[in-house]
Amino acid sequence: MTDAAQFPGAARDVLTFRLGGEVLAVAATQLREVLEPAPVTRVPGAPAFSAGLINVRGAVVPLADLRVPLRMRHTPPGPDARILVLDLPLAGQQAIVGIHADAVHEVTRIGPADLEDIPTVGTRWPPRFVAAIGRWGGHFVTLPDLPAIFADFLSGQSGRSHLPGPTAAGQQDLEIS
């Protein structure tokens, strides 16, 4: 999905949240619910990006960690940690995924005037993973391009479709240049 498709010119409601010391946002239309931290089942052999599964009202849902593709530092979850449950297109189908958040802020409206150009240099983040950067209450807020991040992960996974084992540990870096 392109930036334009995800963030056309109109103002939109987003949920802002904190992760790895940064403020991020997801489109409210993609958000299904916000959950308290739940028991996570480890998936042996899965990369760090999607290392676990959770139960969301009887559905088995993959839990993804945006800190991996966005190269953020990992801090242990605090009392404000939450799981955002999102509807996203995955491999051509709508799917439910969970993502970690260190804390959830609020639903706010971001208009075109609040959006800034994405600098091509100087950011720590792979530019193709960033849909837009905006301002919210004096902070920079990053809108990650979630479909792009997941698509990138899925395309990288095709080479990984064998049995996991000790060797799988070396494949946990998502970065594919």
Partner 1 sequence: MMDAETLAVFRAEAEGLVESLESNLLALKDAPRDRALIDGAFRDLHTLKGTGAMFGRADIASFLHDFETAFDRVRDGSVEVTPDLLSVALAARDHVVALLSAEPAEGADRAGAAILSRLAALMGTPAAPGAAPDAGPWHATFRLPADTAALGGRPELVLEELRRLGARTIRARTGDVPPLDRLDPVCLYLGWEAEIDATATEDDIRGAFLFHEDGLQLSLTPPAAPDATAPPPRGPEPPQHRAPALMRVPAERLDEMMDRVGELVIAEARLNELAARFGDPGLVAVAEDIQRLATAMRDNTMSIRMTPIGAITGRFRRLVHDLSRELGKPLALEVTGEETELDKTVIERLADPLMHLIRNAADHGLEPPAARAAAGKPEEGRITLSARYSGAEVLVALSDDGGGLDRDRIRARAVERGLLAEDADPPDDALWKLIFEPGFSTAPAVTELSGRGVGMDVVRRTIEDLRGTIDVASAPGGGTTVTLRLPLTLAIIDGLLIDVAGERLVIPLAAVDEIVELPDSLADDDSGNAFLDIRSSLVPFLRLRRLLDSEGQPGAHQKVVVVTSGEGRVGLVVDRIIGSNQTVIKQLSPLHSGIKTFSGATILGDGAVALILDVPQLVARGRSDTDCQGEAAA
Cα(127)–Cα(152) distance, integer angstroms: 13
Distance in angstroms (rounded) separating the CA atoms of residues 96 and 24: 19
- By DSSP bridging, strand 52-56 and strand 59-64 are antiparallel
Question: Which of residues 20 and 156 has its CB atom nearest to partner 1 in the complex?
Answer: 156
CA distance 153 to 171: 12
Q: How far is the CB of 14 from partner 1 (least distance, A)?
A: 23
Closest distance of CB 65 from partner 1, Å: 12
Helix or strand run (H / E) with residue 170:
none
Applying the rule CB under 8 A, the residues between 3 and 62 that interact with partner 1 are 39, 41-46, 50, 53-55, 58-62
DSSP state of 177: -
The DSSP secondary-structure symbol of 125 reads: S
Is residue 1 at the binding interface for partner 1, with CB under 8 A as the rule? no
Q: Which of 78, 138, 165, 170 binds partner 1 (CB under 8 A)?
A: 165
- In the complex, minimum distance from the CB of residue 37 to partner 1, in angstroms, rounded to a whole number: 13
Shortest spacing between CB 40 and partner 1, in angstroms: 8
At closest approach, how far in Å is the CB of 66 from partner 1?
Answer: 13
Under 8 Å between Cβ of 56 and 34? no
85 sits near partner 1 (criterion: CB under 8 A): no
Q: Collapsing DSSP states into helix, strand and coil, what is residue 95?
A: strand
Phi-psi region of 120 (alpha: psi -120 to 50; beta: other; left: phi over 0): alpha
- Check residue 158 for interaction with partner 1 (CB under 8 A): yes
Positions touching partner 1 (CB under 8 A) are 39, 41-46, 50, 53-55, 58-62, 64, 90-91, 93, 95-97, 150, 153-154, 157-158, 160-166, 168-169
